[in-house]
A and B are shown apart, each in its own frame.
Chain A
Amino acid sequence: MLPLLAELSADPTTMMLLADSDSGAGGIAIPFLAGPAVFAAVYGGIYRYYRNTDKRHHFERETEVAVGNLHSGDRKVGENNRQQNRRMRDDNSTDHLRRVHRIAVD
């Protein structure tokens, strides 16, 4: 049961729920949010623990790789002020598997 609880606590919905109850804002909405959120978190957590549909080999981290000859070219192109999000839009720095526009390299 302990691994199952660990998976549940790692679930983003559970986190959202905990943040929700702490905030204190819109207190009247809490029971209507908490019920479905816990339902979804428990259902998803148990299903994933049994079926492991999200498991794969993390080849991009585990394959032996040597890196060298790094050239960085960074330049300021503008400003993006008065943003409400802590992270930028469409950040894909940790989403290694999603491919973007392919360019030819010599």
Chain B
Amino acid sequence: MDLYPLVRKRAVDGIIALLREAAGGVDCLIVECCYDRAVVLLKDEEKLVRLTAVKLISECGELFAASQGETEHSEQMDVVFVQLCLMARDMHMEVRFEAFVALGKVRLVHETVLLQSLSKKILGIKSGKAIVKCSTKGTKISLLSAAGAFVHGIEDEFYEVREAACRSLGMLTIFSVKFAYEATNLLMDMLNDDTEVVRLQTLQTLSHMANYDRLTMQDKHMQMFLGLLADISPSIRCLARKLLQLIKLPDFVSFRDTIDCLVSNLEAFPEEEEDIFFVLFSVGKQHKNFSAKLAKEFAKEIDLSCGELILDSHEVAAKLVLFISSSFSNGQRTTDIPMALYSYAIPFSGRITHALRGSVDQDSLLAYLCSYSKEIHNICTSSMPIHVAMSDITRKGNVLDFSKILTRSEQTQEKCVFLNEETMQFIKLNLETVGKTWPLMKSHCTQVVQNMLRACKEELETIAWNADDGAASSFLDFAALYIQVIQLVTEILDKSLPKKSCIIGMTSLDIILERLDMNLRRLRLLEIGVSPQPILARLTSTISHLEFLCEGPSNLSDFAKEVKHACTEGTAALFSTTYVFRKLLELFYPEQITFTGRFKQKKAEVLVIGNDSENPLTFVSGLPVGIFFRITLYEILNSDRLWLLLAVGESIQYVFLDLSQFEGCDAVRSCTLNVPFHGTPKAASFLLRASVGIECPSEDVTNHSKGQGGPIDDYAIICKENDVHFIGVNNR
């Protein structure tokens, strides 16, 4: 009662410290006495005193609750709760904040009081006893004073208060199901708050509730909640999705809405694919029946679209993840989900496993997918032996493939009418030849195929010599690469055939595969607007995965188990390997032909200013040397990541090219750079090879190079190598 507020405040602080120190060892009556003092001080004129008084009340409340033991609720706590609710309407932000923090710590409060704090309107009270309570000293407070404390809290002017109110709401939901249900309404409103911190806290509160199984989503909430997936802040999106995993969705409609939202989420933020896949996977796992239902609808759609499934679309990717998840978890297939979907999902295995963060490894997933997709073949061929079925399908595939390649060249022709007639003729012819090689290849006449392809290649090279037109040259480049790829594929096929694979050393196969990989990457870069590219890329990743499969009988024991599972008759490990491999080829190859747009070649020119073999640059060994480059880029998009590669012997220095330094548009941009080269060797003179590489985001995460400072993903060289000549200072 001192005259000075700070003295009063200190006194209350002292009592709090004392109570804390005693920690439960204090007599109940003393606590009550402290509480009464605090109640008086709640009306203090000075906010500091009110603030500490609130703290004291909260402290007393905890001690009361502790002394009550396990009882359901106590009237004393009701009074404490109501007192704090009253303080939640204080005019000072600090006091309100403290009041809400304190409200979160209160326990053993009667449900009606809790519910009242959520509604500004006076709730009908069935039992008359709840209306007026007397505290020990006889001060009357109506329990109705608690009305709407939280409603005020969540629309407070200060985000600190809103956040505290939100957190306290979450803590109180543990005590009452009904309260939790009502609180969800308020919390859902808070998802629309204008402060990010509050939205984040709301989500945390909701997940807290979900953890305690107190969260029931209603239809009207879902709309609000799903809106959050489109939030501008990544952390909120992430948390919202995390919460989605915990939620039990009420019905199929909201389930479908959720999935749709996630798909559009994926479209809008492709960089979050990993996380979204993970969420889809767990959502699918939780709602098996819903996803099976959706899968059926989806399969129907595919049927209607005559099986032309564009695997590249985000929607398809997302849905496939969802479908396989529902049956994957328990290891037994849910018959409701159409088989075909499993096979479609195979190319995503890499991405999915990555998204699942190690809970599933890629091999088992792949094997799992294969096992199901295999069953389709079984169904197709009824009871025929597997290899017969295989060849059958292979033949069908060939026809398909061939015809499509033909269409391709026709389309190509249409598009490139402006090109040199003669050149086109050649190319067309060549592509036709390539098409023809495919059936031969399948029938193991690899030698013949090799020859044919070689001839094609030579022809193309001759054409390329003559043609200097930009568009044509890039098209030629493409064709050449294409043929080269096919050639490599043939080679691999040849080498991995059962009979020979034992004889041929694995190393050579490795090399070929690597080259294939490289070429495919370059191929991909060449084409913008040519849709087969991702499929080819995926083929690459799958093939490079198969590289692992093909590593000879010695390594197969592990994988054999999975393969055995996959192939019922595959007693011979080697045979099954080939089988999987071939089957995969079958699966992917026919997909690739659709052609739109015109070719654009991504390429770069690097020019070293003032340097040739006659005028070498000088350097001091061990010190960095600056080199002037004139770099011109063609058809490079802003999203591309380019690296300047400076190679001396085996060592390569990577320099990231910031596209903002370049002038010009996407089509052509150029820049002059002074790049320091650090690794000057101890030599009288040396030759530096400069080139520009572009990063290719690869689906196959296992192949990520972990080099420091270099490109994250694999890269492909998009320019001619340039030599830079150096000479030591002393030797000049």
Are A and B interaction partners?
Answer: no
| Residues of chain A whose beta carbon lies under 8 Å from any beta carbon of chain B | none
